[in-house]
Amino acid sequence: MTAVFVKSSFLILQDIGMSELLLIAVVVLLLFGGKKIPELMRGLGKGIREFNDAKNNVRQEIEEGMKEKPVQPAATATTDAPHTSTEDATHSKI
């Protein structure tokens, strides 16, 4: 579901031309003012950087987990009971 949403949002961005981007920039300028835009961009950059750092940490942990050797189970002692004469007699009739 998420992949479909992301794919469709990128398709929408392909249809935006230069005039639409200019209109969006003017609206942002009017809403936030010239003094707030650098702070807004700084915050946006910091958020993107933190997201990328977290993404890289997760990727690194997954790669390290895949490189680790799988734990082999220890040899278990057999719990088979010794054969009795009644078991032998039953198996010989079958």
- What are the average pLDDT values for consecutive 10-residue runs of the chain, which has 94 residues? 55 78 89 87 95 96 83 62 58 59
CA dihedral 10, 16, 21, 23 (to 10 degrees): -130
Q: What pLDDT does residue 40 have?
A: 87
Q: How many residues does the chain have?
A: 94
36: left (phi over 0), alpha (psi -120 to 50) or beta: alpha
Domain ranges of the chain: 34-67
What does the pLDDT read at residue 53?
Answer: 97
pLDDT of residue 35: 87
